[in-house]
Chains A and B, each alone.
Chain A
Amino acid sequence: MPDPDAIPLLEVSNLSIDFVSEERIVHAVDGVSFSMQAGSTLAVVGESGSGKSVTALSLARLLPSPPAQIRSGKVFFEGTDLLTLPERALRHYRGGKIAYVFQEPSTSLNPVFSVGFQLSEAMALHRPDLQDRRAAGIAALTEVGIRDPERCWKSYPHELSGGMQQRVMIAMALVCRPRLLVADEPTTALDVTIQAQILQLLREIRSRFGMSILLITHNFGLVKGFADHVLVMFRGKIVEQGPTDAVLASPRHPYTQALIACVPRLGESKKRLTTIDYARLDALLSQS
């Protein structure tokens, strides 16, 4: 059980982000607050456009501005407000303390550099103490389950499969020993068997390095057995949060119930997959 008095690893309070265009203002994230303890795993679940990725990207101030505008809120990482930190100081956090793994591994790696170069670059920046970057890099590649790390070190991204590329991305995140790993839909672009392997890998990494993981996903199926806590976002707002088992067992918000119902179950023989009936949902929400 986490110590309630300790400073949380990550604390987001009342975060609101707008996308401003000439015609209109979109409230992508609206008054979101949550916190994460060191070593915990939090899953943010929601459909496309619910604001989950925007929330994740805003932690390291990755959103292009304009059009994105942070209207209000604070993001404390180990007690430091990342949103007001000068750019230069923020770079120390990016990669060094907070690492990202993105959805599309094929575009996340620079096509003109070898895997070794890209790993070394990250280490040169955040691990100046390392004597032998090559050895450390190959060790990291081994840790993420790459069978021939020597060859992978010399490869270019286009020579690797999607699963391998995502493993390299995770290795890049690992070599700097960050405190928090933000995985933004890390398995969406991969096929199902690889998805399971990548999730298993993330689980192992968390227990071995005591790293916290913030998992962004639209799939409730991934959350069970992976995250300690879950946070459901809908139209820029958090509609429900709590321990994963409790939320899955008895979802309170109609949207969460609808989302869980969408996950197909093994052995079920239905003609059609369940989808969310938004008209019914809106009616339910307006009543409460």
Chain B
Amino acid sequence: MKAIPAKRSGVWHQVVSRPRGALALAILGFLYFCALFAPFLAPYGPGDQDLRRTYHPPTSLTWTRRGLAVRLYENADPSQALYRPIPGRTAVIRWLPIGHPYRLFGLFPCRRHLFGVEPPQKVYLLGSDSIGRDVFSRLLYGAQVSLSIGLIGISISLGVGLVAGGLAGYFGGWFDSVVMRTTELLMAIPGLYLLLALRGAFASQFGSGEVYLLIVIILSFLGWSGAARVVRGLALSLRAQTFVDAAIVTGLSPWRILWRHLLPNLASYLLIAAALSIPGYILGEAALSFLGIGIQEPSASWGLMLAQAQEMKVFMCNFWWLLTPGAAVFVTVAAFNLLGDTLRDVIDPHFRTGDR
């Protein structure tokens, strides 16, 4: 007799076997790889300035006898940032050169980068900003902030929502009322104003690490209520199932029933909820940083980079490369939504949307 495969082992396989799921996972895998290895992939540090090369356009690549090279540019009019390639002058791209020191994963001291050119020449794959910083490098460093904030934020808010909603649904009574009224209170206030008010309530003189933490906490504080309400509803409906009674008459303690019997039944919901709410955190961080109360200079985040693209000069002179962080946000959010939709199709066939 052929053994029937266990139900849960199939989820990963099913997501990968669908074109949309595979695409979303490939994009996210690539983005998180870039964020993880940002210091290695980036030729320059996030704060490395070069005031002689402000608003430098993306350098074009050519193939020379000595290998892959970048064109060199001269600035015809510094006030207008009119860069023109100098005919016949190139700088060869060197692979794994020694550059500025950094720590890989914050642990291993290292000086090698993936690529670079011989100083004082510079390679700007995505151009430079108003003080000559490499947009490509900052995009990679910004990815560390923007991509991790979603994961950490969702872990905190789902964790809190799970505990609060689970206890409220399982035990009911006064605790249920307190939790539900609190979530209603939080949801009644428009999110962005609450976000601004909370951020304003804390002192603005913080280090970049502290601001990062503060943003995560504020976003999670707003995010847990939705999760708590849904978890409570699910816990209530699961509570009515006979297997909970069966667990009680087996003599299990309420905590064990809650953690070992109800939680695994919620796992699929939590997976979908996580994938679908991470974009909210990425956008929330981007919004805060865009308004100037999120990640502070000289650290990089996608929202902060977009804030700098507000300058009149960017629009007047069509410095399109300064808007690439917007594209990065778009791609990330779209990929997470795609992944969430695919997960929901796989796990919960009742809500299947469209074709595979």
Decide whether A and B are members of one complex.
yes
Shortest C-beta distance, B268 to chain A (Å), equals 9
Shortest C-beta distance, A117 to chain B (Å), equals 9
A110 touches B251 (CB 8 A): no
Task: Indicate if B241 sits at the interface (CB-CB under 8 A).
Answer: yes
5 closest cross-chain pairs (CB), A and B: A95-B251, A94-B251, A95-B250, A91-B251, A107-B242
Our pick among A98, A109, A156 for the contact of B249 (Cβ within 8 Å) is: A98
B246 touches A100 (CB 8 A): yes
The residue on B at minimum CB distance from A169 is B246
A102 touches B242 (CB 8 A): yes
B245 touches A102 (CB 8 A): yes
The residues of A that contact B264 with a CB separation of less than 8 Å are 110, 112-113
A108 to B242, alpha carbons, bound, how many Å?
A: 5
Task: Indicate if B94 sits at the interface (CB-CB under 8 A).
Answer: no
The answer to whether residues A158 and B249 also contact, given A107-B242, A108-B243 and a CB cut-off of 8 A, is: no
The residues of A that contact B250 with a CB separation of less than 8 Å are 94-95, 99, 121-122, 125, 172, 176
Interface size class of A (residues with CB under 8 A): 20 to 34
The residues of A that contact B6 with a CB separation of less than 8 Å are 114, 156
A-B contact pairs, 23 of them (CB 8 A): A60-B248, A60-B249, A62-B245, A62-B249, A93-B251, A94-B251, A95-B250, A95-B251, A95-B252, A98-B249, A102-B246, A108-B245, A109-B246, A110-B261, A111-B265, A113-B261, A114-B6, A121-B250, A121-B260, A151-B1, A156-B6, A172-B246, A176-B250
The residues of B that contact A151 with a CB separation of less than 8 Å are 1, 3
- Given A62-B248, A121-B250, A121-B252, 14 more pairs with CB closer than 8 A: A62-B245, A94-B249, A94-B250, A100-B249, A102-B245, A107-B242, A108-B243, A108-B245, A110-B261, A112-B264, A113-B264, A156-B7, A169-B246, A176-B250
A98 to B251, alpha carbons, bound, how many Å?
A: 10
A110 touches B265 (CB 8 A): yes
Task: Indicate if A96 sits at the interface (CB-CB under 8 A).
Answer: yes
The residues of B that contact A114 with a CB separation of less than 8 Å are 6
B251 touches A112 (CB 8 A): no
A91 to B1, alpha carbons, bound, how many Å?
A: 40
Interface residues of A in 79-130 (CB under 8 A from B): 91-96, 98-100, 102-104, 107-114, 121-122, 125-126
The answer to whether residues A104 and B242 also contact, given A94-B248, A94-B249, A125-B250 and a CB cut-off of 8 A, is: yes
Shortest C-beta distance, A85 to chain B (Å), equals 12
Shortest C-beta distance, B259 to chain A (Å), equals 12
The residues of A that contact B241 with a CB separation of less than 8 Å are 107
Our pick among A103, A125, A176 for the contact of B252 (Cβ within 8 Å) is: A125
| Contact pattern, B 1-27, Cβ under 8 Å of A = 1, otherwise 0 | 101101110000000000000000000
The residues of B that contact A94 with a CB separation of less than 8 Å are 248-251
The residue on A at minimum CB distance from B260 is A121
Task: Indicate if A282 sits at the interface (CB-CB under 8 A).
Answer: no
